[in-house]
Structure 1
């Protein structure tokens, strides 16, 4: 029997799809419109929401194209939203500024292969955005690896450190950081990464990391609780000189736990999620983008980019 939560979730999903149909340009979003209509018909005949959605979003091409349209329409619906002017910006690191996730994935897969296991996409999605410790606990537990969590974390750290500084920038990240710096907007780093990992990145990219007023890491002695608790972002705001008002801070995140932390800290948040993240889990973000190149900083009272680069989601 379906739970109340499941029924509410299905109802919200149906309402959202219907809203898209009423607002979509039938020519611009023809593919998405067809998918939505078929999904709704399937649901009403089968009464199985998850099966209906899976059936028509199962191919990678359709899924990704409809996802990009989802972002376009979601932001189109929120175009009347009143964005607040900000004075400071806070950035997550892994997955937001640097694409270090692939380094972690390769390291974890290598460890799992040593014990005849596979680090599946499903497990990757479940553990997306968590701390190294939580990641280690999750993998060892889910795959029943014959090693301790401490041993796994040690092996993972050693493998990651060998290649961590090779992490490429996420699209638009470097441009945005320099723009904020030249616009005199103070920025700080708030990350679930360890101080050791951040120092490695800083050593490899000293000029860029010098732009940050300060850095808050999960290993910071003042951090009692990591994301999704608001502590790290509140600490990040408090360490500016003078202290920043949390409600005037703009956060840049890629993970659900990070967005949750920012929202709990009463901050606006720009989310650039991995396409695999459940779309319903992105709804708490102030705005959702495919890339940082798509950001219009003037929405938050920040000067516009001057390089002429324009992108649309």
Structure 2
């Protein structure tokens, strides 16, 4: 099934940077005040969505007396304290980044990871004015692909790494191929749209996709 790919996209949450566990802990710390639990169902619906949409999902599902804006403001205050401690995995291949994070959140995550940021040829954040709609729409992937130099000849020459169902839907809608490394909480039924599903990013064989083989430190 190998296809020659000339460009490579990757979504950073939970893959290169272990931020998904930080999100979960910070979400739960807010819900604890109301005796609520950040459920598996809420997490699956919220993952990969724009900031306020994700907050609205959690607020509605938990039934807490906060607006999405209030919840998001408190959440990001907690996240900004924790992001610089996120662990990362280095991939020595050319990369571009498409992330639903707004620029301020992204910069916080990367503040102590300059060597990781240098791996990317370019980044596209969720508040980029060219991104009209958040995941699961394909906008962010199409914008990121368009910024490769030279750009891919067609979208099926782009390989995307994702960990969220909303991101998989968006990348497939863009006509791209998707390798999914899902959170263990995600129902296997929600991984079926991905071309390949892996338990760990370290098990990827990029040579199967026409890219150089890599090793992980």
Query: How does the TM-score come out when normalised to structure 2?
Result: 0.92
Partner of 1:290: 199
Counterpart residue number, 1:239: 147
Which ranges of structure 2 fall in alignment gaps of 5 or more residues?
Answer: none
Deviation at 1:216, TM superposition (A): 0.8
**Matching residue of 1:95:** 14
* Structure 2 SS opposite 1:214: strand
Cα offset, 1:130, TM superposition: 2.5
Instruction: Choose the corresponding residue for 1:153, options 61, 72, 75.
Output: 72
State the distance in 2 between where 1:116 and 1:301 align: 50
How much has 1:306 moved relative to structure 2? 5.8
> What is the deviation of 1:259?
1.0
Q: Hey, what's the Cα distance between the residues in 2 that align with 1:288 and 1:141? A: 30
1:273 aligns with: 182
Matches of 1:139 and 1:303 in 2, distance apart? Answer: 40
Q: Which residue of 1 aligns with 2:119?
A: 211
Alignment map for 1:1-313 (pairs within 5 Å):
82-169=1-88, 173-174=89-90, 177-178=91-92, 180=93, 186-245=94-153, 246-305=155-214
Q: Deviations over 1:57-79 (max 9, x none)?
A: xxxxxxxxxxxxxxxxxxxxxxx
Partner SS for 1:213: strand
Q: Alpha carbons of 1:116 and 1:281: their partners in 2 closer, same or farther (altered >3 Å)?
A: closer
Flag the 1:283–1:116 CA change in 2: closer, same or farther, 3 A. closer
Secondary structure at the residue paired with 2:121?
coil
Task: Provide TM-score, normalisation by structure 1.
Answer: 0.65
Distance 1:304 1:107 in 2: 36
Q: Relative to 1, partners in 2 of residues 1:266 and 1:125: Cα closer, same or farther, differing over 3 Å?
A: closer
Give the Cα separation in 2 of the matches to 1:121 and 1:252. 21
Q: Does structure 1 retain, via aligned residues, the 8 Å contact 2:49–2:166?
A: yes
CA positional deviation for 1:242 = 2.0
Taking the aligned partners of 1:304 and 1:156, their CA distance within structure 2 comes to 38
For 1:248 and 1:125, the matched residues in 2 are separated by: 28
Number of equivalences: 216
Structure 1 residue 295: deviation in Å? 0.9
What is the deviation of 1:158?
0.3
After superposing on structure 2, the runs of 4+ consecutive aligned residues of structure 1 that deviate more than 4 Å are none
Contact 2:44 2:165 in 1 (8 A): no
CA distance in 1, matches of 2:111, 2:130: 24
Structure showing greater relative contact order (alpha-carbon pairs closer than 8 Å, 6 or more residues apart): 2
For 2:65 and 2:110, locate their aligned partners in 1 and report how far apart those are by CA, in whole Å: 35
Secondary structure of 1:273's counterpart equals coil
Q: State the Cα deviation string for residues 216-265 of structure 1 (Å, max 9, x = none).
A: 11111111011111111111110112222322111111111111111111
CA distance 1:147–1:281, shift in 2 (3 Å): closer
RMSD: 1.8
Check 1:121–1:258 CA distance in 2 against 1; reply closer, same or farther (3 A cut). Answer: closer
